[in-house]
Amino acid sequence: MCRRLACLVSLVMVLGLIGADEVLGRTFDIRIATGEDDVEQHLGNGDIDLTSTDLELAYEDDGTPATDAQIIGLRFVDIPIGRGTQILSAYVEFEVDSVGKAASADPVNLVVEGELTPDAPAFLDATDNITDRPSWTSANVKWSVPAWTATNIKWQTPDISAVIQEIVKKPGCASGNALVLIFSDDADDPSTGLREAESFDGEALAAPLLHMEVFSVIAMEPDPADGATAVTMPLLQWTPGDSAVLHEVYFVTNPSMGPDV
């Protein structure tokens, strides 16, 4: 809730003792929500494809080797975690769209990175809109993608928690923000083939999915949202922090007031 203080309501939440063998934390699955949130950028001319019915990693066209190198951007919105959350594990899941291209069995080696901003802006139909994004994570994860030999099979990346953790540490990271993950060819071990995955425009329910297991002592998903204005007679709700025994809720009528006033 609002951190600025006019009057304080201290709500004690007894969550019970947590056994030593009980796993702390929670799990979130966030799927690509619109066709403009999974995009391709052709590296040769910088063109952006916002409405592709599939996502080819890391080339568009079949061949020996595959041609028309491209980079994939995935934007996941309404991420229900904020700054200070510990990312225990994470991966992106793709579903195989087609194995009809011969290059589907040839080596594909990718690098997974993220846009280093606490609330990534939407993709635009503008030249080089992925590669021109100003700051990427220093953390990255390499993925040697196995051969895809059957449609509708799901494949997961290796653990990318380090990439997401770097983003979550940024000031301004808050529940409800968006994050962008970027998939490109591994320059140290270049691909010669491609993998063809479902996109939102091809099959919305099979679009890429971000899976995260997280731990946070800070409450998440407040309703009304932190900083909400013009709220009358709210029903205060939130997801309690893991292992928390109390949360302090602040109300304010003057947004310039601070917690020490």
pLDDT single digits (tens) 161-214:
999 999 999 999 999 999 999 999 999 999 999 999 999 999 999 999 999 999
Residue 56 backbone phi and psi in degrees, to 5? -95, 130
Sort strands 154-156 and 86-98 into parallel, antiparallel or unpaired.
antiparallel
- The closest alpha carbon to 86, from 248, 241, 247, belongs to 241
The DSSP line for 152-179 is T-EEE-S--HHHHHHHHTSTT--TTEEE
Q: Which residue has the tokens 């309501």?
A: 9
Q: Which fold has domain 26-215?
A: Jelly Rolls (2.60.120)
Q: What is the pLDDT of residues 5-59, one digit of tens each?
A: 333 333 333 333 333 334 467 999 999 999 999 999 999 999 999 999 999 999 9
Closest by CA position to 110, among listed 195, 161, 186: 186
Token pair for 142: 């390499």
pLDDT band at 250 (very low <50, low <70, confident <90, very high): low
* Predicted pLDDT of residue 61: 93
pLDDT band at 63 (very low <50, low <70, confident <90, very high): confident
* Domains of the chain by residue range: 7-23+223-251, 26-215
Angle, CA of 13, 16 and 17, to the nearest 5°: 140
pLDDT computed for residue 105 by the predictor: 83
pTM: 0.78
pLDDT at 102 over 60: yes
- Mean of all residue pLDDT scores within the chain: 84
